Amino acid sequence: MVKRTCLTPTFAVGLEAGDCDTKSVQFFGGSVSVAVCGLLLHVQRNAGPASAYQHVYWLLLTVSLVSLGLVQWYRRGRARAASDDERWNVTSV
């Protein structure tokens, strides 16, 4: 039986345990990024709009690239751990 982490209709098919956790992370990530971008624009109110928004987009691009790098680093670590488990014939619980 799949443990549900949020209220969903009983007819929802394919709901996994982490679906609502992922949505919560996306919601809070979006709200925090909007707040940070708003603060960055407020700090740069004397700069022209093009310059201020350029800095905001560079910040968002940097965060995205760092996130992508972390995902790749995590996947490589998981793949390495899986290959070590296979080599030593260890089963995970």
Top-confidence residue, 83 or 53: 53
Provide the domain count of the chain.
1
Give domain status of residue 92, yes or no: no
Give domain status of residue 60, yes or no: yes
- Residue 8 tokens read as 């969903």
Give domain status of residue 42, yes or no: yes
Cβ–Cβ under 8 Å, residues 5 and 22: no
Radius of gyration of the chain (CA): 20
Give domain status of residue 6, yes or no: no
Is this structure's pTM higher than 0.75? no
HSE-CB at 30 with a 13 A cutoff on CA atoms is: 6
Which pLDDT band, with edges at 50, 70 and 90, does 17 fall under? low
Give domain status of residue 3, yes or no: no
35-76 per-position pLDDT tens digit: 988 999 999 888 888 988 998 999 889 988 999 999 999 988
Residue 83: which domain range? 19-87
Give domain status of residue 70, yes or no: yes
